[in-house]
Amino acid sequence: MICIKDVKWIFLILFNLSCVAAFSQSQWTYDFNNGLIPIESGGPALKQLGQAGQFIKEKIPNSDDLSRTIYQFEKNSGLQFSNTEAKGFLNKSFTIEIYFKLSELDSWKRVLDFKNRKSDYGSYIYDGKLNFYDFAIGEKAPVRANQYVHYVYSRDFETKIIKMYINGQSKLEFKDPGTEGILDADQVLNFFQDDLIANHEASAGAVALIRVYDRVMTPVFIRRSYQTISRLNKEQVAKKEKEEETEETAPSGRKSSNMAVVTGRIYDGRNLKPVNDAEVSVRKSNNDSLVAQTKTVNGAYNFELRPFESYRISAQADGFESRSIGIKTTNRHEEVKSLISLAPETYTHPLSTVYFSQSNETLEGAAAARLDSVVAYFEKRTDLKIMLKGHTDNTGDFSKNLELSTQRVLAVKNYLTGKGIPENRIEGSGYGSTQPSRLNKSETLKQSNRRVDIWAEPVKR
């Protein structure tokens, strides 16, 4: 039986879903009024992880008569979405939307786990910042203990671009280096419960809404969804929607007489040749929100943007360092021209890292999937060779650790050559315990030092 005070809260969600209809192919929505069953018929029920949580009626802040049902979970507990029961719903592009709060934010706190507790990689909140360990960290976000936050994660199947938003604003965007941001063979998505490797990086909390989509939702849609959930007044929502509709539709080709036109060219700084298929994105300078994105054709790109705004245009392409420039649209109808010169990429960070158990050189867990993505990358990038650097923690004898790190390098090399990478493209060395990525102060930190780093390096011609 649904409490009468829940009706307005449900109305807010249904209003939001009416916006979804024009954009989304499908979604599953969990508002917890029906326990762990989605409001859409025929969807998979969420499963409880760890200690069983409680369904609680909660008054919505700053309202006189509105309430909602929340699921309150204990520390290192949470919920699980079965992609198998959902018939492969999250197998390609997808978006995950959550409205939740955590009791503690004093250290790493898990939000999403794609590998069913078998990997330390995944989505966290750390020091108020969005983090995908250990590939990317965003700027400070308005995330505070015991305060609800609107969190969105998306991954594009074609481009591998992962995006994260807080309260409607884009806070982190990066390219998945492999398959870290998607489900593994277990085909389950875990919320809030930490992995078995660190197993203490979690918090108690409460969640009022979980929604998963089978596509990447637009930045405009995400801002609208946040506005609806956070109950902005109708005048504010209407004004925002009108502004954002202009932002979203202008780059698609429908001309607006009041827009500024930005034309540009991406070129190789070494020879001034155009860079084709470079990814170009436009973000507002004041809040870093994504406005538009495209790919270059013969090095050229163009956008229609709102006047009297400051923007940042970013370009990235295979074989080049990414680069951003700032522009201002100072008037309606004006044409702004921009040129972006790209320099050859440098290789100052590992492309990927494979981890090992204590005193062990055997590949296990997620190593195969990680190395398969490395193989795919180097099959495409024949201009690069592979440098393997093996490491250990500081436990045990120094000379034995040096030998162990070399054996780990050999295990990775054998896997890569077995997948077809020529042996003459692979070099490697073991460094024992001499180059830790983290201080060996605890067992958790030591685990990150039992590794082989995989570096890319240009082939000298």
Identity of residue 222: I
Identify the H or E element spanning 226: helix 219-229
- For residue 133, what are the CA distances in angstroms to 124, 159, 177, 410? 7, 20, 12, 26
CA atoms within 13 A on the CB side of 458: 10
117: CB partners within 8 A, 6+ apart: 190, 193, 194, 195, 196
pLDDT tens string, the chain, 461 residues long: the values are 444 445 445 444 544 544 443 333 388 999 998 899 998 888 899 999 999 999 998 887 666 667 789 999 999 999 999 999 999 999 999 999 999 999 998 888 999 999 999 988 899 998 778 889 878 888 777 888 999 999 999 999 999 999 999 999 988 888 888 899 999 999 999 999 998 877 788 999 999 999 999 999 989 889 888 888 875 433 333 444 455 444 444 444 434 457 888 888 999 888 888 999 888 988 888 877 788 888 898 899 988 888 888 998 988 888 888 788 888 888 776 778 888 989 887 788 888 899 999 999 999 877 887 888 788 888 888 888 999 999 999 999 999 999 999 999 999 999 999 999 999 999 999 999 999 998 988 988 899 999 999 999 888 75
User: Which residues have a Cβ under 8 Å from the Cβ of 66 and sit 6 or more positions away?
Assistant: 5, 8, 9, 59, 60
How confident is the prediction for the chain on average, in pLDDT? Answer: 84
CA distance 121 to 34: 32
Q: In whole angstroms, give the CA distance from residue 161 to residue 177.
A: 9
End-to-end CA distance of the chain: 73
Say if residues 342 and 278 touch (Cβ distance below 8 Å). Answer: yes
Peptide bond into 120 cis (omega under 30): no
What does the alpha-carbon distance between residue 83 and residue 87 come to, in Å, rounded to a whole number?
6
Whole-number Å distance between alpha carbons of 333 and 257 = 7
The C-alpha atoms of residue 269 and residue 349 are separated, in whole angstroms, by 23
Distance CA 85, CA 433 (A): 45
Structure tokens at 201: 């990086």
Spatial contact of 351 and 454, defined as CB atoms under 8 Å apart: yes
DSSP H or E stretch at residue 206: strand 205-213
Contact by Cβ (8 Å): 349, 275: no
**pLDDT, tens digit, 9 for 90 and up, residues 128-166:** 788 898 788 887 778 889 999 999 999 999 999 999 999
Q: What is the rounded CA–CA span in Å between residue 321 and residue 319?
A: 7
So what's the pLDDT on residue 35? 92
Q: Which long-range contacts (CB under 8 A, 24 or more apart) does 287-291 make?
A: 287/169, 288/139, 288/169, 288/170, 288/171, 288/312, 289/169, 289/170, 289/219, 289/223, 290/163, 290/170, 290/173, 290/219, 291/219, 291/247, 291/251
Which runs of consecutive H residues, i.e. helices, occur in 302-397? 367-380
- Give which of 50, 113, 2, 32 is closest to 366, Cα–Cα: 113
d(CA 108, CA 201): 5
Distance CA 350, CA 299 (A): 29
* Closest to 339 (Cα-Cα) out of 280, 427, 254: 280
CA distance 15 to 66: 15
Q: How does pLDDT run across 81-117, given as a tens digit for each residue?
A: 999 999 999 999 999 999 999 999 888 899 999 999 9
pLDDT of residue 15: 43
Q: Phi and psi at residue 225, in whole multiples of 5°?
A: -60, -45
Q: Would you say 433 and 401 are in contact if contact means Cβ atoms under 8 Å apart?
A: yes
| Digit-coded pLDDT (tens) for 285-303 | 887 778 888 889 889 998 8
For residue 320, the tally of other CB atoms under 10 A from its CB is 18
Measured over all CA atoms, what is the biggest interatomic distance in the chain, rounded to whole angstroms? Answer: 74
Q: Which of 391, 421, 420, 424 is nearest to 405 (CA)?
A: 391
Tell me the β-bridge partners of 47: 80
Q: How far apart are CA 266 and CA 233, in angstroms?
A: 43
In contact, 454 and 178? CB cutoff 8 Å: no
Cα–Cα dist 2/34, whole Å: 9
Residue 461: per-residue pLDDT:
55
